Structure 1
Amino acid sequence: MFQNHFPDILGLNKGTQIKGTVVLMRRNVLDFNDFGATAIDNLTEFLGQGVSLQLVSANNVDSGNLKGKVGKAAYLESWLTSTTFAPLTAGETAFQVHFDWDDEIGVPGAFIIKNNHLAEFFLLNLTLHDVPNQGDIHFVCNSWIYPASRYESDRIFFANKPYLPSETPQALRDCREKELEVLRGDGTGERQEWDRIYDYDVYNDLGNPDWGSSLARPILGGSTELPYPRRGRTGRPPTKSDPKSESRLFPLVQDFDIYVPRDERFGHLKMADFLTYILKSVSQNLRPLLESVFSFTPNEFDSFEDVRDLYENGFPLPQDLFKTISDQIPAPMLKEIFRTDGEQALRFPTPKVIEDNKSGWMTDEEFAREMLVGVNPGVIRLLEVFPPQSALDSTVYGDQTSKITKDQLEKNMGGLTVEEALANKKLFILDYHDAFMQYLRLINTPEERAYASRTILFLQEDGTLKPLAIELSLPHPNGDKFGAVGDVYLPAEQGVEGTIWLLAKAYVAVSDSGYHQLISHWLNTHAVVEPFIIATNRQLSVLHPIYKLLFPHYRDTMNINALARQALINADGIIEFSFLPGKYAMEMSAVIYKNWVFPDQALPSDLIKRGMAVEDQDSPNGLRLVVEDYPYAVDGLEIWDAIKTWVQDYCSYYYKTDEIVAQDSELQAWWKEIVEVGHGDKKNEPWWFKMNTVADLVQTCTIIIWTSSALHAAVNFGQYPYGGYILNRPTLSRRLIPKEGTPEYDEMVKSPQKALLKTITPKFQTLIDLSTIEILSRHTSDEYYLGQREHPNWTADATPLAAFQKFGKKLAEIEEKLISKNNDETLRNRVGIVNMPYTLLYPSSEVGLTGRGIPNSISI
């Protein structure tokens, strides 16, 4: 009876059939150099027997092997210019296909696809229409399909109906288990681009000892001295000079072809691919170009106006060198980097922090405000003990207790004593003393000079913070065991004291920039999430409901992390080159990872741990903020609660009891692998959840989603709006505060601007830094934001779909609420003297450099 619904388009008697629509993208449509490719060029190559598909039954098994019955092969027949179930976007093509159907197939639960071409293509989805007694059945694929000869096992895709392992139909169990075996691999061999294997390795690929000892780097992970989250294994051979270090790809040729499982790579995302090429150009073309420029050009800014000229007129480049880079970079990318149609200038967009007020960044008000609303708002904490203490081992580092005195603080506390301020939770600290003190003897060279810093702040009646003192410390000249030496600087606005105070704030900003980039950003989002991605793909089937919950929050993270290991955090990479603490940056992040605690990554737990909130059941979030106008915390708690409610609604649909969690074989294997392998250097910590209850599962998934989405957005997309003006967030310091009686001191008295400019990031590093953070601060044109999914039929279960729609509506309500808060003039921290509203946790965004928006995943 069903054959009457379908035309006999090939003039054949098709019998009873199911019509399907296959949506795919050809490889050359995705090619960076083929932006003009159309959706229907050369599509005849896919017709005939080039691509075959076979349905696999979900409810009928072959009596001989208890596997789902497999139908006859069907082939792509003709392309469609549009579909009724979903509009096609640029580069996508829909094909019609007809499957033979009978009662032996029953309900299709999976399909096998074979690519008989010589090149791969990207398969987006398959929809079966009007399946008897089922209606439409959706298969969401989003996967590269290589020639069948590349695979030892058939490529199989499952329908969008999720199952817990114990509830999986018998007909699909073997396919479910075999697919996971493929994704795990056997842990041997060098991975190839068509591989789909997820496996773990330590960070032993950052250095290049074969090129000299200066490029050797310690292995991170696998030791108590330098523990680290695991990264994806590539299987590349070891270096010749160090068998424990993995060789790097050949420079300039393979640098961005590092292995990650193929479906994790940029390539199905044109704009993200475009940004990858820009990042490659910055590291491989722009940096050498500028290096040659600065070999005969002074590497100093002359004035603050000279810095601002980067946005108004740009940095001029010599004609011959401009032509060299023009020949090496494709025209669309060249225009994106230089923002010109031919002018020889490297020009940057005006950073938001100086867009309305060019000097507001210099004020104490903005200096303090950015600790609550800036790109690194999760470090400030309540000061609970005075004087500030150190956690460094006193048998090694001596007495590291702060030398700040009560008298110094009480000068600017409006009559309060330190004891009264502590009791009333009025004192706060931004403390980078311990993190940097351990490395200052290594960091401080003739080229770089830095301090370990402590900044004490006071909460005023109007809800704003003001700095009271900055302590800048150095290791004792007689050795570490003698403790620290340093000076305390107090606020001043005029004269040489005002200049020194501005310098002191700059040193704090340098520490904050380095800590932010390596710890708050890289370690606490990018690095810690990667083991969860690997374990999820290895241990949770795509049929598992928790896989479907978490999958969108992993999009492109492994790929951007791999790119970072190649060009950003590697030896002599962009971060080492332009950020403190230079070559010791990643090693320092490993030392700080010792203090990483997974449950504390929950925003409420983090706020309580830092003393920025106290439990209060009468408050809407169950927390009362110590600083009521703390925009990161206020907005973040709104987002956190929305995520947790969504996760609770979703998980409770599949897990009615704690016993179901404890008895879920895939879930338990997943959690065991995360604890014992992915974060294996911390496997003996007592704080890991036991994963025996629904509450454990909900909190775990909420932390993963929060970290991958909102936390990353908060610490990433403000990089350029705040740090694009290097005076506001310098990344390097090159000399110490001048001593009276020296030429440097006399220069500081005569020209305060030059003194600051000669202290912080020089021009060359500024240009590289700005080029990089502008790339990292952008949203791509194909981004999916929190509350959005790439495919509307990502699950067949109606209740979770309804809960997800409720989540999206809640996020829209939150955004309206946050906009309203930013218009409330009584909340002085939200906009500040620079007239820069806090928008980093607005859920939505447009394309580009917006300073707002929460993507689902760490995709840049």
Structure 2
Amino acid sequence: MVDYEVTVYTGDRVNATTLNSVNIKLVGTDGESDRTWLRSLVIFRGSVSTYTVSCPNSLGRLLLIELDKRQFILLPNDAWFPDKVQVKSPEDDIYTFPVHCWISDRETHRYREGKALRIFDESHPLGQYARQQELSQRSVDYDWELYAPGVPYTIKTDDPMTLPDEVQFSFTKSTEFAFTAATGLAELQLKGLVDNQENWKNLDDINDVFRNKDTPLSDYVQEHWKEDWLFAYQFLNGVNPTLIQRCKTLPENFPVTDDMVSIPDGSNLSNEMKQGNIYLCDYKNLDGMPANTIQGIQQYLTAPLVLLHKRPDDKLMPIAIQLKQTPADDNPIFLPTDSTYDWLTAKIFVRSADFSEHQINAHLLRTHLMAEVFAVSLLRNLPMVHPLYKLLIPHTRYTLQINELARDRLIGPTGVFTNFTASGGEAVPRILTRSLSSITYRSLCIPDDIADRDMQDVPNFYYRDDALQLWSVMFKFVQGVIQYYYKSDDDVLRDSELQTWIGDIFEHGFLSQPQTGIPQSFTTVPELTKFATMVMFTSSCQHAAVNSGQYDYGGWMPNTPATLRRPPPTEKGTTSEATMLETLPPINVTVQGMATVWLLSRQSSDFVSLGHYPEAHYSEGTPRQLQMDFKAELDMLSTAINNRNKSLEIPYTYLDPKKVENSVAI
């Protein structure tokens, strides 16, 4: 007889303990062990327990283990979360089998030894069989569903709680986070206002509600929201820094002339455009979209164009706003020289349009739905033993459940977004369809996106500065891992699972539209490296950039109204404080919006920051060292960002690596 020393590591998370009988089987190149009961009445959360599995002869090189769990009579069936199983063979070889998932049923679950293997590395029939069986089951567990025509496919599930256990929230996350505005209303002590449909009488009344529910930045925004410089600053470093672009030629539908705008130091619009000092924000995605009806009242959604000028002091300032796409006598171009309320009202319509463009395109589509496509295709097409699975799986944590909750409780028929925003309801799928048709691969890769928008040298663009540095550090890490496993382009071409993975993304994420530039296959190591970096960046950094500041900039409602109740002015000189207050959303809509953006900006206690890998999927030394190097470089970048922020009036913190979550988890 020979003995194998089996050490079981149970996850240190709530409810990971099991009272059920756990059994193991070892499978090697030369045979398999009997199914062996791990003799313990209770396997505790966070425990490390060692057992002996005896066999008549050596099993050769271990390929996999099988785990199953059975309920004792009179005891409840419960879930168990093993982190990993380590086996010491009679030959003193150590094998590590990563698990990192819940086992809640009576089925037999197979887990491979931790060394990453590409499909053409599988030389043993048992390994090939296990790989095929895993992907066969995953294709059932993670199926696609059409959400709406022209929109990326989503995970097929009846509701968030029927998702596979391994992708659901932890107990901590679930109990901490109920995805309803009621949670925010209660914690912000606003529940007494949810039935008040009256208009605001003055801004001081809004301030009374907002007081003591602010963050340092939201308080600052409340104080300065009317000022032109803060209006312009938000295009660079607010929650939607992806729209602004340099303007060398005015769009034909935005007929701003030299004599309309005032340029300091005797210059004019034409000269400033030639010198690269003019910038444009165009909300054409919203043109013609049907505005919602809220509480029986028609709402209004515009598609503005905004022109901005970089002054000699490097400050960006708005110089012209047109609230609708088609020039006309009843669509005036508003200017800073207009009356106070004409100009302020025009800016309010822009900020409201920015809310919709940000939430539906920059946030929902380009991070949440893209991350879901990447997650589902990864789980369907790459087995746990695949090197790219090990690289990318940490960046899928909680994404499928958070998206299901969003579809149900934010943009579903009874959702907060549907009931309380101008672009809720009918407009959402239409805006998503239009936005997806304009997505390009380059726009998802931050170095290309910055270049295409010609934003390389605009000053005080901290989103760009931090994002480019994060991309560089991440690319270096991804390149190291991929080059370790793929020594040549031929290795990439031979990996049929990789090719199926990218094909699935192209088909279900980008609806087989070649104009997007999304690869349909991989032919080189650099192609694979760039795409994997984009997946990681989108699912972590880009989401942090467009999510984390929602309450900072949207908590003070007049700065980012989710809806507007009066149409845009059709001529100048018709606005006043009274018309502005009538235009802003009423009290109950305001507090629903405050509660929602507060909830979406919260960080949970089981937050995992970028570069942290509490679940060890790699067992080889080189990728593990690369992970440590990655974290070390992120720590250095975090220090540099914090040092820079000390000198800024508005610190830009959203891309501090220590505040970037590893995945789309909120």
Deviation, 1:724, is: 1.1
Match for residue 237 of structure 2? 373
CA deviation digits over 1:793-840, x for unaligned, max 9? 42111111111111111111111111222234xxxxxx3xxx431110
Q: Structure 2 residue aligned with 1:407, among 240, 252, 259?
A: 259
Deviation, 1:156, is: 0.9
Match for residue 23 of structure 1? 10
Deviation, 1:741, is: 11
Match for residue 184 of structure 1? 139
Match for residue 209 of structure 1? none
Distance in structure 1 (CA, Å) of the matches to 2:145 and 2:290:
30
Secondary structure of 1:679's partner? coil
CA deviation digits over 1:746-781, x for unaligned, max 9? xx54xx2x4433212221112111211111111111
Deviation, 1:450, is: 3.3
Distance in structure 2 (CA, Å) of the matches to 1:25 and 1:807:
25
Q: Structure 2 residue aligned with 1:838, among 641, 652, 658?
A: 652
Distance in structure 2 (CA, Å) of the matches to 1:696 and 1:858:
24
Q: Structure 1 residue aligned with 2:37, among 75, 80, 86?
A: 75
Q: Structure 1 residue aligned with 2:154, among 224, 231, 236?
A: 231
Distance in structure 1 (CA, Å) of the matches to 2:210 and 2:569:
31
Q: Which moved more, 1:501-510 or 1:563-572?
A: 563-572
Q: Structure 1 residue aligned with 2:168, among 265, 277, 284?
A: 265
Deviation, 1:686, is: 5.3
Distance in structure 2 (CA, Å) of the matches to 1:509 and 1:302:
21
Determine whether 1:774 maps to 2:617: no
Deviation, 1:429, is: 1.0
Are residues 358 and 732 of structure 1, via their aligned partners in 2, closer, same or farther at CA, if it must alter by over 3 Å?
closer
Distance in structure 2 (CA, Å) of the matches to 1:78 and 1:131:
22
RMSD of aligned C-alpha atoms? 2.9
What is the aligned length?
Answer: 658
Deviation, 1:109, is: 2.9
Deviation, 1:260, is: 2.4
TM-score w.r.t. length of structure 1 = 0.72
Are residues 644 and 424 of structure 1, via their aligned partners in 2, closer, same or farther at CA, if it must alter by over 3 Å?
same
Determine whether 1:277 maps to 2:141: no
Matched residue type, 2:620: D
Matched residue type, 1:273: S
Distance in structure 2 (CA, Å) of the matches to 1:422 and 1:595:
25
Matched residue type, 1:784: V
Q: Structure 2 residue aligned with 1:676, among 495, 507, 511?
A: 507
Distance in structure 2 (CA, Å) of the matches to 1:469 and 1:56:
71
Mapping 1:53-452, distance limit 5 Å: 53-57=24-28, 60-61=29-30, 69-78=31-40, 91-101=45-55, 103-117=57-71, 119-128=77-86, 130-133=88-91, 135-148=93-106, 151=107, 154-170=108-124, 171-185=126-140, 197-203=141-147, 220-221=148-149, 227-234=150-157, 257=160, 259-266=162-169, 268-270=170-172, 272-279=173-180, 281-282=182-183, 297-312=196-211, 349-356=213-220, 358-386=222-250, 388-389=251-252, 401-409=253-261, 411-432=262-283, 434-439=284-289, 446-452=297-303
Distance in structure 1 (CA, Å) of the matches to 2:288 and 2:161:
33
Are residues 513 and 280 of structure 1, via their aligned partners in 2, closer, same or farther at CA, if it must alter by over 3 Å?
closer
Distance in structure 1 (CA, Å) of the matches to 2:518 and 2:168:
34
Matched residue type, 1:232: I
Distance in structure 2 (CA, Å) of the matches to 1:100 and 1:671:
44
Higher relative contact order (CA 8 A, sep 6+): 2
Are residues 739 and 565 of structure 1, via their aligned partners in 2, closer, same or farther at CA, if it must alter by over 3 Å?
closer
Deviation, 1:290, is: 8.5
Matched residue type, 1:819: N
Q: Structure 2 residue aligned with 1:762, among 583, 586, 590?
A: 586
Q: Which moved more, 1:519-528 or 1:769-778?
A: 769-778
Are residues 93 and 777 of structure 1, via their aligned partners in 2, closer, same or farther at CA, if it must alter by over 3 Å?
same
Matched residue type, 2:67: I
Mapping 1:603-618, distance limit 5 Å: 603-612=446-455
Deviation, 1:258, is: 5.0
Match for residue 593 of structure 1? 436
Match for residue 719 of structure 1? 550
Are residues 823 and 641 of structure 1, via their aligned partners in 2, closer, same or farther at CA, if it must alter by over 3 Å?
same
Distance in structure 2 (CA, Å) of the matches to 1:382 and 1:779:
34
Secondary structure of 1:456's partner? strand
TM-score w.r.t. length of structure 2 = 0.92
Are residues 309 and 442 of structure 1, via their aligned partners in 2, closer, same or farther at CA, if it must alter by over 3 Å?
closer
Distance in structure 2 (CA, Å) of the matches to 1:505 and 1:416:
25
Matched residue type, 1:759: T
Are residues 78 and 122 of structure 1, via their aligned partners in 2, closer, same or farther at CA, if it must alter by over 3 Å?
closer
Distance in structure 1 (CA, Å) of the matches to 2:643 and 2:353:
34
Match for residue 661 of structure 2? 855
Distance in structure 2 (CA, Å) of the matches to 1:542 and 1:741:
63
Question: Between the two proteins, what is the percent identity of the paired residues?
Answer: 25
Mapping 1:466-545, distance limit 5 Å: 466-473=317-324, 485-492=330-337, 497-545=339-387
Distance in structure 2 (CA, Å) of the matches to 1:524 and 1:740:
36
Deviation, 1:416, is: 1.7
Determine whether 1:626 maps to 2:457: yes
Distance in structure 2 (CA, Å) of the matches to 1:607 and 1:112:
49
Whichever of the two has the greater Rg, that structure is 1
Gaps of 5+ in 1: 1-13, 31-38, 62-68, 82-87, 186-196, 204-219, 222-226, 237-255, 313-347, 390-400, 477-482, 613-624, 825-830, 845-852
Determine whether 1:787 maps to 2:601: no
Distance in structure 2 (CA, Å) of the matches to 1:260 and 1:142:
16
Distance in structure 2 (CA, Å) of the matches to 1:682 and 1:660:
27
Are residues 519 and 95 of structure 1, via their aligned partners in 2, closer, same or farther at CA, if it must alter by over 3 Å?
same
Deviation, 1:417, is: 2.2
Distance in structure 1 (CA, Å) of the matches to 2:442 and 2:92:
43
Matched residue type, 1:437: D
Are residues 19 and 689 of structure 1, via their aligned partners in 2, closer, same or farther at CA, if it must alter by over 3 Å?
closer
Matched residue type, 1:179: E
